[in-house]
Structure 1
């Protein structure tokens, strides 16, 4: 296949139009969220951008499927189908340039979407993980598989209704796993779809075995679509199922051995970056490295206030929700959700940031979150009630928190210290009722 023939296909086929639609819809999906103040769903991390593109495949994949079917009808639309069928040129020689042109345009449309998002992500994080590469590569491969499968089906059923039917059917087929994921635990079969159906955050990545299995499966599916497009006689179309079945057989054992969600912890993003000066150690995750300098001052002030407690912590560490406990006694933990990449720490002042670190006497909240006792512990350590940036609670809960504060302050000084220390111990291990711990004798 010469570059001249490929150039002609790019100019005369609908490949460029389909690729442009993929790019336009993808870019619109990303920036619509930015304009609606939901850009943090994808703009805080490279892997998050790549993953959000995969989520958008619920719309892009059916479009590629229908675009392929529309392209396959070109000969019939132009009235050339019977004439071309009489030429001695093999079918694959006539159809391969068109298939390659469509694949190139689909990949380019997907890459342009990535580039449009990269402009924003580059200015919001210093952590450049390589995990986004296979996530993006598999996403582009799924679009090629959709385009070629659509071309194969469009050639087999060259009806004017085939493209719209494929778009609707493809969308419904991808929507079903999303609905099932809301009500049940995902399984290996749910990982065969091109779009992601599991919750994804900046500390998560797709398992390598899942990306490998998906690449094998969609390579087989693309092969089936291409075979279906190139077979000379329709009765031989059953041969086209072989590549897809082979890809499925190889992929399923890999998916069965992978996590049920297909996701795993991103060790690079959760790695610690710590201060190196002579002061108390303050650490943040690699994903939030830009926030370290801003955190040092409030964190060290919080450590000074925590020194009122026995066996007080000597360092502050930002931790993610899946960090296993129990929390070491000499560490104060700050939950990673208090930082938003590109915006900084959620607290609106340094004093509020200190109070945030002091919540629960320097612990990450357990589930369910006991806001009242955690806020009381923060205020007691800070030396003022309410503490800066105190979480606003419904009326009755605020009254209960006020009552807890008054009861605590009515106790002897040593008993107050013991109660706050008991709150810290309970949150370190996530055991016990925090309300009861604060209200009753710690002994």
Structure 2
């Protein structure tokens, strides 16, 4: 038997199924002020970082520190101002009474307005940070990326946006956003570069050496400190039971106590900074800090002319070293690599000849002498000119040639000493240089061989 089903016709005029309601966060996130705030964060940080790129590009620790400094001094005030402006939106529109009658609670309404701005600001910071890391990656000199600090900074920026939102809802003044931003800049600047004592460790922005790294839990505790204070402010402003604000406040107090008590122990020296990477094919050996390992071939090439002239010479230091503190008894300090932006820019030596001249000067070891006799000065000048003359030496000589009689006499003595050293045979010159370096670092003229 065949069963026939009769199709029931749809009723005319029946209303279609209503579309699914979209979450209010979506509308806030894709339209209005929040995307513009994120774009402003990216533009501000990128412009500030690009303006001083020669000071950080190429060094991972330097990049971390520069991004951190820029995010704290410029990003946090911007986040405070953006949140404060968003917080006064209902007052400017005249919809505060209407929003108060909404079904959603005050905390939910607050978060629906504040979270999109905070998330867009964090996204803008993430874009700027990613661009900075890419700019360092192609010319990195060693070390490794440091990601703990950027993650902590992102949380601090979100907390600043939420705090600004609370202030914007409480302060009915159009000048509140710029004034709040200025106050945040001043407070962070004083805390970062001043000497506020133990309380300074509560600031998310503190100055520290570039060869240090935070302990693994430092970003987490900083987030707990700033996040706890922000959550307490939000709950105290929006929650029906304002006593709930005590819970994050207690967490913030515990985190702040830990930060203050730990103090300088929040940062430790990077293990790479204690290690040297050496080229042992020359005498003296050439060692650089392991953080700049990729720079060693360039330095070796820059000093190759000097080290080839020292082949077979005795009484030389064992190595050039590149670490903090005074060099050992058989070592001599390598010319400065840091701060980046002077002798090294974007992973390249800016002037290899000048760098070689500086290395030759450190070999003499008389840089700390208050005064030496004219004879020793002429001998030092001859050795300096033979090993690695400064590119500016000819200009100095021409200037002294037009100077006073005493300057012309001293120039004549230096030129004669240079000529005598250059005219020696190879064996004679090696013996003379061996005797010369036996007196390295002595300020007295006794024992310095004559020319």
Q: TM-score range by the shorter chain?
A: 0.7 to 0.9
The Cα shift of 1:307 comes to 5.8
Residue 253, structure 1, aligned to residue 261, structure 2? no
Which residue, 5, 30, 37 being the options, matches 1:11?
A: 30
Q: Distance in 1 between matches of 2:270 and 2:132?
A: 21
Alignment of 1:409-428 (within 5 A): 420-424=437-441
Q: Which entry has the higher C-alpha Rg, 1 or 2?
A: 2
**What TM-score, normalized by structure 1, do the two folds share?**
0.74
- Provide the secondary structure at the position in 2 that maps to 1:247: helix
Q: Partner of 2:362 in structure 1?
A: 360
Over aligned residue pairs, what C-alpha RMSD do you find?
Answer: 4.5
- Partner in structure 2 of residue 119 of structure 1: 134
- Structure 2 counterpart of 1:96: 111
How many Å apart are 1:29 and its aligned residue?
A: 0.8
Stretch of structure 1 that moved more, 96-105 or 336-345 = 336-345
Residues 1:108 and 2:109 are matched in the alignment? no
How does 1:48-87 map onto structure 2 within 5 Å? 48-56=62-70, 57-87=72-102
Aligned pair partner of 2:230 in 222, 240, 244: 222
Residues 175/335 of structure 1: CA separation in 2 closer, same or farther (3 Å cut) = closer
Residue segments in structure 2 that go unaligned for 5+ positions in a row:
1-20, 421-428
Task: List runs of 5+ in structure 1 lacking aligned partners.
Answer: 34-38, 427-436
Paired positions, count: 408
Cα deviation code 1:13-58 (max 9, x no counterpart): 522222221111111111233xxxxx22221323322221222222
CA gap of 1:245–1:82, structure 2 versus 1, over 3 A, is: same
Partners of 2:74 and 2:141 in 1: CA distance? 31
| Deviates most, 6-15 or 156-165 | 156-165
Q: How does 1:324-343 map to 2 (within 5 A)?
A: 324-329=325-330, 333-337=334-338, 339-342=343-346
CA distance in 2, matches of 1:311, 1:220: 62
Q: Is the 8 A contact 1:174 1:195 kept in 2?
A: yes
Match among 265, 271, 293 for residue 269 of structure 2: 265
* 1:20-419 matches, cutoff 5 A: 20-33=39-52, 39-56=53-70, 57-130=72-145, 132-178=146-192, 181=194, 185=195, 187-196=197-206, 198=207, 200-201=209-210, 203-206=211-214, 208=216, 210-232=218-240, 236=242, 240=245, 243-244=248-249, 246-259=251-264, 264-268=268-272, 271-275=275-279, 281-306=285-310, 310-317=314-321, 319-320=322-323, 322=324, 324-329=325-330, 333-337=334-338, 339-342=343-346, 344-349=348-353, 352-361=354-363, 379-382=381-384, 384=386, 387-389=389-391
Q: Is the 8 A contact 1:5 1:97 kept in 2?
A: yes
Query: Aligned residue for 2:423?
Result: none
2:313, 2:136 → 1: CA distance?
A: 41
The 2-side partners of 1:138 and 1:363 are apart by 45
In structure 2, the CA distance between the partners of 1:302 and 1:341, relative to structure 1 (3 Å rule), is: same
